[in-house]
Chain A
Amino acid sequence: MHTLPLNYKLTAFKTIVWKEVRRFLRIWVQTLVPPVITISLYFVIFGNLIGSRIGQMNGFTYMEFIVPGLIMMAVINNSYANVVSSFFSQKYQRSIEELLVSPVPNYVILSGFVIGGVTRGLAIGLIATIMSLFFTGLHMHNIAITLLVVLMSSIVFSLGGFINAIYANKFDDITIIPTFILTPLIYLGGVFYSVDLLPDFWRLVSQINPIFYMVNAFRYGILGVSDVNVVFAFLMLVMFTVTLFLFALFLLRRGKGLRH
């Protein structure tokens, strides 16, 4: 099996990423504006109005406590949404065939879409962070952990969106997972509360939720407090990243839903 020169692969990779970025910038009213409005409402209602009556959580004001979770929620949702909607619509209108007939290796295709999702996820995360400054000050306990966690979480959910898009046959199929799985996992992943508040049984159940680890590791990076061991959270993130990447690659190689 012959391989392509590295600069060829890099050109193809940049082309895919730029196409993805161009797509979400072109439809910014659908991709950038709604998360900004949603996050603003969370800050105003949960952080400001209700949060002021809740008091302290893990030594921080409620607003300070939920800011990392809300940023992470925005990153996760947007990374996932970008890849699932872009890849599925390309599959649906068959423009994905442009890539499939070209010599671009599968791992370059996958990486291109994932980085496209990460770009949107991190862009929204940055906007959410800037907006949070209007409501509270920004702590930064450990910037390296913060950036690494947010990057890896964005990659994990971009990969999730890719796999969802591969299995999807109709537009309904790309909304089922975010509505019935992703949203409950985010809400039960400790965005709005510390698991210390939960009964023992639900605290144990929370531990099988991958988002629980992401939110807590991210919160550790910003506030220095976490409900889980940060090293363990990192190991979980690495495991999810590798497993989902290999699985997505396997599906691409098999041509699942793409080649007949």
Chain B
Amino acid sequence: MFFLYNAGSQCQFCRSFSMTPAISIKDLYKTYDNGFEALKGISLDVAEGDFFALLGANGAGKSTTIGVLSTLVRKTSGSVQVFGKNVDTNSYETKLDLGVVPQEVNFNHFEKVFDIVVTQGGYYGLPVKLAKQRAEKYLKQLGLWDKQNQQARNLSGGMKRRLLIARALVHEPRLLLLDEPTAGVDIELRRSTWEFLQEINRGGTTIILTTHYLEEAETLCRNIAMIDAGVIVENTSMKSLLRKLHQEYFLLDLREELTQAPVLDGYNCQLIDPAILEVALESHQDLNDVFNRLQALNIQVKSMRNKSNRLEQLFVSLLKKPEQTA
């Protein structure tokens, strides 16, 4: 029974030695009964221990991919392996390794928070005592312990999403699938959920995240695949993806307000606010040069930040490529 109750610790032990990918998808096709082709032959490997983002617009095929992994969606063709085991022939073992956080809230709203998590533990073969201990552990970590005796319908939207995460973790899976886990969650809760997920990932759990919050992917994930109309258009590390940016935008907080944007030869500048200057930097340009020029114009910069839509620009440009070649 070791593999049932100690999946998490076993995983941590073997992780550094394992060369088997957490998931390996080959030529995956899915055509729904209504004829819609959601996946058109995607292939994807995610390394064990990775924090991986699957990015795409609505209807791109992200949730279908998660659905196939979790067996809620039946693939039309192709092969899917989880930790080297085929989901068709070893479905019990692969399901034990998976924790699924769906996009839609899908628990019984009339059940108590604690019961929802403990019951899920029972479905994974955890004895009641252990399931209760795990439920307490994850509800506490996710800030839901004081709501344990409340019916789930009384939770706020953000709390419901955190309950989904606690439920998915009760059997301590080696691989956590998160389908837009912070959709509709306020900024504060989103940040704390990110921190929690990063901690889980540091503990050894492989995480695959679908999102269309690009900032989320950029903050959390080491590797990324972009999916569009059922086809993977990019699959690389976050760093190398961001290196592909030809332009990067910086926001400079100015010490004194300006009435119009300064003219810096070769740079695209605009005032977002009288005290905030946006500067677009080409990959060959140097930020020091910008500061020197501003200094020469007697414009003092108080602070600076990276504009957070870098990934968004890249995402849009990648999705435009097929249209341009068509």
Contact = CB atoms under 8 A, between A and B. Distances in A.
A92 B217 CA distance: 32
Nearest to A9: B125
A4 B104 contact: no
Interface of B is mostly: loop
Interface stretch (B69-77, B137-145, B276-284): B69-77
A97 B119 contact: no
A133 interface: no
A100 B72 contact: yes
Contacts of B110: 26
B1 interface: yes
A8 interface: yes
A4 B74 CA distance: 22
A15 B122 contact: yes
Given A2-B92, A255-B74, A11 B107 contact: no
Q: Which of B32, B119, B127 has the most CB of A within 10 A?
A: B119
Contacts of B90: 1-2
A3 B89 CA distance: 11
A172 interface: no
A103 B96 CA distance: 6
Question: Which residue, A5, A7, A101, has most C-beta atoms of chain B within 10 A?
Answer: A101
Nearest to B108: A95
Given A1-B89, A19-B119, A93-B106, A101 B127 contact: no
B325 to A, nearest CB: 32
Interface residues of B, number: 36
Contacts of A16: 122-123
Contact of A11 (B74, B91, B122): B122
Interface in A1-46: 1-5, 7-9, 11-12, 14-16, 18-19, 22, 26
B125 A90 contact: no
Contacts of A19: 119
Nearest to B93: A2
Interface string A82-103: 0000000110011101111111
Interface residues of A, number: 34
Given A1-B89, A4-B92, A103-B91, A14 B72 contact: no
B249 interface: no
B234 interface: no
Contact of B73 (A3, A26, A95, A259): A259
A97 to B, nearest CB: 5
B78 to A, nearest CB: 16
A53 interface: no
A144 to B, nearest CB: 33
A113 to B, nearest CB: 13
B95 A98 contact: no
Contacts of A95: 106-108
Contacts of B109: 93
A218 B121 CA distance: 40
B124 interface: yes
Nearest to A1: B89
B67 interface: yes
A8 B5 CA distance: 10
A2 to B, nearest CB: 6
B72 A97 contact: yes
Give the 8 A-B residue pairs with the shortest CB-CB distance, closest first.
A15-B122, A8-B125, A102-B123, A103-B95, A94-B106, A103-B92, A95-B108, A101-B70
